Amino acid sequence: MTVSEDMSLLSLITNASVLVQLVMALLLGMSLVSWWFIFRKTFVVRDALRRADEFERSFWSGADLGTLYQAASRKDAGSLERIFESGFREFVKLRKQQGIGLPVLMDGTRRAMRATYQRELDYLESHLSYLATVGSVSPYIGLFGTVWGIMNAFRGLANVGQATLAQVAPGIAEALVATAMGLFAAIPAVVAFNHYVRHIERLSTRYESFMEEFSNILQRQVNLPSMQQGSDMEWEDS
Locate the domains of the chain by residue range.
3-237
Highest mean pLDDT among 14-18, 31-35, 70-74, 215-219: 31-35
pLDDT value of position 151: 79
**Residue 230 confidence (pLDDT) above 50:** no
Distance CA 63, CA 53 (A): 15
pTM above 0.95, yes or no: no
pLDDT value of position 226: 44
Distance CA 24, CA 185 (A): 10
HSE (side-chain half, CA atoms, 13 Å) at 236: 8
